[in-house]
Amino acid sequence: MAEILGRLLTDLGERSAYDAASQCSRCGYCEQACPTYVATGREAQSPRGRNQIVRLMLEGKLDDPAAAQEALSTCLLCGACTTACYAKVPTPDIVLEGRRALRPRTHWLVRAVGRLQVRSPRGFARLLKLGYRLKRLGLSRAARPLLRALGLSTLAEMDEHVETVPTRTFDDEHARARPPEGKNWLYFAPCGPRYLFPRVAAATWAVLERLKGPGRFLENHCCGLLAHNYGDLENARELARRNIETAENSGGEPVVADCSSCAAFLKTYPQLFLKPGDAGWLARAVRFSARVRDSVEVYDAAVGELPLGTQPGAAAWHDSCRALNGEGLKDAPRRVLRAVAGAHCREMPGADQCCGGAGAFAFVHPELSDELLRKKISGAAAAQARHVVTSSTSCLIQLARGLRKYYPDAEVMHISEYVAGALGVRRGS
Ligand code: SF4
Ligand code: SF4
């Protein structure tokens, strides 16, 4: 059995995973907020059903592990249930505990890449660039059937979902640009903006410079969210320790991240250190988390300084689940968008519903993901949006694909790109 956390930080304080799951009174109040329940109508794919499965599992009464595996693996971890729940039952964390307890072994290649990311970030970046080169040559497309035959269909799906890859990473761009350094903020480069969307990282940097003065690159490691969500607590903790240490050695400035999934996870680092003997790291994680800011929060705090943009066409906000349900950022991004888009700002139907990206969910459950994506894009079309603006990497990937497929009149943008356009600032790629 894989390692489990055992204890969870909930809105009602620290609880054992069993107590947290038992807090679910099965009232069903959250059911209509759950995208997978609404899509499938299956109790096992509802928050109530999933909490019950984990409870039975922890009581040793689970009689169908395969059905439990399916119910838990199809959870988007979007947190819409917790937002809707009067008792704030932390269903996503409970689901993750259940997944860890059930976890079948991951493919050896995925484990090896995960280890490489922890032990040699440079080696990981080199491997990624090699993959990008193969993709540009069209070879990854040709390799998809082989990947599927080798049990790596997630990689094949990933290749299918991501249309273009950059020639340079944020680190490459940063080394070339060598911007003036200051002590106003530390940029935490999440893996998405760092490796796949360096244009987003460049826009964030330019906006932060304009709004807050010069800052510095934290030279961080991956936040550990993927390792955490896919059962590798050891790697997640190791990455957390390294990031905490790096930030401690870099001064006391706010740590700004421009992927809401990553920012939300950085804010939950304390949950990784609840075991007896981890008290020292827990205190350090609490201090670190208090320094973390989502880029959305920084722009919102400076909303009075944002000029009206000149982007033609309506702009609509898409809530990243982690921003909305993880960080409670509902009004902040809308204030920013209203300031910049002015009369062009629209609210799209279903803006707060998961787009089906959800980290690697879209690659693991492509059909269910596509159903959620179609709904999301129909909301963008109903609002006649030309720009769908958001703040998480997996939303950028998923919405880009959905708009290409179902509503090519609109494009997806990260909020940093939208704000940078209004401010007329640009750096790097
Ligand atoms: S998670 Fe909360 S809202 Fe949903 S069934 Fe349980 S107690 Fe009710
Ligand atoms: S996290 Fe999302 S998908 Fe999972 S049970 Fe809650 S609402 Fe449903």
> Residue 1: what pLDDT?
53
Can you tell me which residue has the tokens 């790629």? 429
28-31 contacts at long range (C-beta below 8 A, 24 or more positions apart): 29/84, 29/85, 29/86, 30/80, 30/81, 30/82, 30/84, 30/85, 30/91
Residue nearest (by alpha carbon) to ligand 1 atom 3: 85
Best of 45, 77, 365 for a ligand 2 pocket test (most atoms within 8 Å of beta carbon) = 77
pLDDT of residue 2: 67
Domains of the chain by start residue, with CATH: 7-102 (1.10.1060.10), 109-297 (no CATH), 306-423 (3.40.50)
The CA-atom distances, in angstroms, between 340 and each of 202, 298, 303, 419, 426 are: 19, 15, 9, 7, 16
Q: Whose CA is nearest to atom 2 of ligand 1?
A: 85
**Cα separation, 70 vs 73, whole angstroms:** 5
Nearest CA to ligand 1 atom 4: 30
pLDDT, residue 427, reads: 62
Q: Which residues line ligand 1 (CB under 6 A)?
A: 24-30, 47-48, 51, 81, 85, 87, 89, 91
Question: Which class for 367: exposed (0-12), middle (13-18), buried (19 or more C-beta within 10 A)?
Answer: exposed
What's the first-to-final CA gap in the chain, in angstroms?
45
pLDDT at residue 399, rounded to an integer: 97
User: What are the tokens at 84?
Assistant: 């809707």
Query: In this structure, what token pair is assigned to residue 377?
Result: 């894009």
Instruction: Name the residue type at position 352.
Output: D
Tell me which residue of 419, 239, 202 sits closest to 311, measured CA to CA.
419
| Per-position pLDDT tens, the chain of length 429 | 568 888 899 888 889 999 999 999 999 999 999 999 999 999 999 999 999 999 999 998 988 889 999 999 999 999 999 999 999 999 999 999 999 888 766 777 777 887 888 888 888 888 888 888 888 888 777 777 887 877 777 787 777 778 888 999 999 999 998 888 999 999 999 999 999 999 999 999 999 999 999 999 999 999 999 889 888 899 999 999 999 999 999 989 999 999 999 999 999 999 999 988 899 999 999 999 999 999 999 999 999 999 998 888 999 999 999 999 999 999 999 999 999 999 999 999 999 999 998 877 888 888 999 999 999 999 999 999 999 999 999 999 999 999 999 999 999 999 999 999 999 997 644
CA 54, CA 425: separation in Å to the nearest integer?
49
Is the shortest distance between the CB of 356 and ligand 2 below 6 Å?
Answer: no
- Phi, psi torsion values for 357, nearest 5 degrees: -70, -65
Q: How far apart are CA 261 and CA 324, in angstroms?
A: 10
Q: Regarding beta strands 13-16 and 7-10, do their DSSP bridges make them parallel or antiparallel, or are they unpaired?
A: antiparallel
Q: Which ligand is nearest to the CA of 77?
A: 2
Q: What is the pTM of this model?
A: 0.93
Measure 66 CA to ligand 2 centroid, in angstroms: 19
d(CA 290, CA 263): 11
Q: Show Cβ contacts of residue 61 under 8 Å, excluding neighbours closer than 6 positions.
A: none
Asked if residue 324 has its Cβ within 6 Å of ligand 2, the reply is no
> Using CA positions, which residue lies closest to atom 6 of ligand 1?
24
The pair of three-digit structure tokens given for residue 312, joined into one six-digit string: 């033609």
- Residue ID of nearest Cα to ligand 2 atom 7: 34
Q: Which ligand is nearest to the CA of 30?
A: 1
- Measured in Å, residue 76 CA sits from the centre of ligand 2 at 6
Longest dimension (CA), the chain: 61
Q: How far is the CA of 229 from the centre of ligand 1 (A)?
A: 22
Query: 108 exposed, middle or buried (CB, 10 Å; 0-12, 13-18, 19+)?
Result: exposed
